[in-house]
Amino acid sequence: MIKGKVENIKDKIDGNELDLSLSNLTEVPVKELAAFPKATVLDLSCNNLTALTPEFCSLTRLIKIDLSKNQLVCLPEEIGQLGNLQHLDLYNNKLKMLPVGFSQLKSLKWLDLKDNPLELTLAKAAGDCLDEKQCKQCASRVLQHMRVLQEEAEKERERQLLKERELEKKKETKQREKEAREKEAQKKKKAEEKEKKRKEYQAQMAALAAQEQQKKKKEEKKKKAAQNQGKKTTSECVPKAKRSICSLFFSLLLKLLLLLIVGVASIIAVCQLTELRKEAFCVPLNVHFEETVRWAQGLEVVQQVIQKMSDLRT
């Protein structure tokens, strides 16, 4: 099929001109056309084309294109790639406006836009194309008009880019502020958690200190109690020891006294009852003994004792 098309197109080439008019085309056979680089003049008039594909603009060798009497409603933005195009016939289509890339057709010298529903400013710029001069003026004025539109479009694009950048900056600023707030919130949260842990730690340390203090107090109480018990035991032992010593002393003293009394009584008995009473050392002793007996008998208490003993005998 492709070979047939190529052969068919080849039959329509005359020198550098390729005539595909009145071929009932609904699309341009771009791949087949690319096979004939010597064809610089292309006639696509009187077909049923409604649009041109971006690939059509790759046919940069074209100098003259006739697209009159089709149904074109738009041209591709890439049409500016046709840098060698000098003659363009768009008569009797359905174009309302041209793409901004149209301003890149720097080699364009001739243009026909008659019988298209062009928007008002474009129609005013195009004017009439009733002769060669007017068509050349149309090309010049339309290119100038499209360059103005391109500049405005670029300015609008720059404004849009600037606006987008500003929005992006605002967005970034808001994002940074949000991140800063989140970071501050996290920092505050961490600080609160740290403070909470610190307080819990202090509370634990205080509780441990209180327990240790209570433990020390209990140990001190036990120690004091033990010391008091020891003192009490010591104090109890000391009086007992003292009493024991005193008792021993008094017992010894009593024994000595009894021994002394017995000795004195024995001496008195010897001096009173034996032949020794006449001895020199017994005489004063006997005198003192008799005086003491007389003194004792004179006491009322002794008399009462003697009386009671007498009564007991009777």
pLDDT confidence of residue 281: 66
pLDDT at 2 over 70: no
Question: pLDDT tens across 79-138, in order?
Answer: 999 999 999 999 999 999 999 999 999 999 999 999 999 999 999 999 989 999 999 999
CATH architecture of 9-152: Alpha-Beta Horseshoe (3.80)
Between CA 206 and CA 226 the distance in angstroms is 29
pLDDT confidence of residue 3: 37
pLDDT confidence of residue 22: 94
pLDDT at 241 over 70: no
Confidence of residue 299 (pLDDT cuts 50, 70, 90): low
**Residue 120 near residue 97 (C-beta atoms within 8 A):** no
pLDDT at 312 over 70: no
pLDDT confidence of residue 254: 78
Regarding pTM above 0.75, the answer is no
pLDDT confidence of residue 289: 72
Q: What is the residue extent of each domain of the chain?
A: 9-152, 245-312
pLDDT at 4 over 60: no
Question: pLDDT tens across 18-58, in order?
Answer: 999 999 999 999 999 999 999 999 999 999 999 999 999 99
Q: How many helices (H) and strands (E) does the chain have?
A: 6, 6
Lowest mean pLDDT among 163-172, 217-226, 305-314: 305-314
Between CA 152 and CA 205 the distance in angstroms is 76
Question: 112, exposed or middle or buried, with CB in 10 Å at 0-12, 13-18, 19+?
Answer: buried
Q: What angle do CA 249, 252, 258 make, to 5 degrees?
A: 140
Question: pLDDT tens across 254-278, in order?
Answer: 778 777 777 777 777 767 667 666 6
Handedness of CA 181, 183, 188, 193 (dihedral sign): positive
Confidence of residue 146 (pLDDT cuts 50, 70, 90): very high
How far is Cα of residue 238 from the mean position of the Cα atoms in its chain?
75
- Average pLDDT score over the chain: 85
